[in-house]
């Protein structure tokens, strides 16, 4: 998506260790007009899919998911990072290793908000190694629901998550795929 790539080139900051900072429009200050254009594009890309729910993970996926959801006219459910898991059977649970904070979180979704009839579009801001998405897919599988597709704002194509998910047959649409980025020059190349 041209608009997003231009914005990443203009305002993205390449950090060391493969991290791209996009705090000024995607992760801290949020550009809602840009989110709206992204929502419209996801709607076009998944026009034929019978989506009943958008699933994301707190915190940075929520803003994008909410704007995307308006284009599909369906609710957003976000997976919560839990302090402790209450094993009363009311929750779907999984564990996710955080790329940016290098720690493992227990993640939950209430059984009230995801069930076997749901056709889910998973939305997130970044795709790196795929840990967050694999966790979200597990939650959908636990519910017996269907993963219709995965929509990502920025995929880092030099990390393995995206190619792995495509090989496993998931319908994955990333609006910008960063092929390489150089922390010395700040240069970013897209696939």
Query: What single DSSP character describes residue 15?
Result: P
Question: Any contact of residue 139 with ligand 5GP (CB under 6 A)?
Answer: no
Contact residue for ligand 5GP among 131, 142, 170, 177 (CB under 6 A):
131
H or E element, residue 33:
helix 32-45
DSSP assignment letter at 78:
E
Calculate the CA 154 to chain-centre distance: 9
**Minimum distance from CB of 16 to ligand 5GP (Å)?**
11
Q: Are 141 and 97 in contact (CB under 8 A)?
A: no
> Mask of contacts with ligand 5GP, 10-39, x by CB under 6 A?
---------xxxx----x------------
Q: Which two tokens stand for residue 164?
A: 């792995």
- Is 161 annotated in some ligand binding site? no
Across the strands, what pairs with 173? 151
Q: Which stretch binds ligand 5GP (CB under 6 A): 31-39, 70-78, 87-95, 118-126?
A: 118-126
Structure tokens at 163: 């190619």
**Cβ-based neighbour number of residue 7 at 10 Å:** 18
**Could you tell me the smallest distance in angstroms from the CB atom of residue 139 to ligand 5GP?**
14
* Residues tagged in the binding site annotation for xanthine: 20, 27, 156
Q: Contact positions toward ligand 5GP, by CB under 6 A? A: 19-22, 27, 60, 99-100, 124-132, 161
* Residues tagged in the binding site annotation for 5-phospho-alpha-D-ribose 1-diphosphate: 128-132
């Amino acid at each position: 998506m041209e608009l997003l790539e231009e914005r990443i080139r203009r305002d993205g900051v390449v950090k060391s260790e493969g991290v791209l900072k996009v705090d000024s429009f995607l992760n801290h200050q949020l550009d809602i007009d840009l989110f709206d254009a992204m929502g419209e594009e996801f709607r076009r890309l998944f026009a034929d899919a019978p989506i009943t729910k958008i699933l994301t993970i707190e915190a940075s996926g929520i803003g994008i998911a909410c704007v995307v959801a308006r284009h599909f006219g369906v609710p957003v459910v976000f997976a919560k990072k839990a302090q402790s898991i209450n094993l009363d059977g009311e929750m779907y649970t999984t564990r996710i290793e955080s790329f940016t904070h290098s720690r493992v979180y227990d993640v939950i979704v209430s059984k009230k908000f995801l069930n076997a009839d749901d056709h889910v579009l998973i939305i997130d801001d970044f795709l790196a190694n795929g840990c967050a998405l694999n966790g979200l897919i597990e939650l959908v599988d636990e519910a017996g629901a269907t993963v219709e597709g995965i929509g990502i704002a920025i995929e880092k194509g030099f990390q393995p998550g995206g190619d792995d998910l495509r090989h496993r047959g998931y319908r994955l649409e990333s609006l910008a795929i960063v092929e390489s980025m150089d922390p010395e020059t700040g240069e970013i190349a897209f696939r």
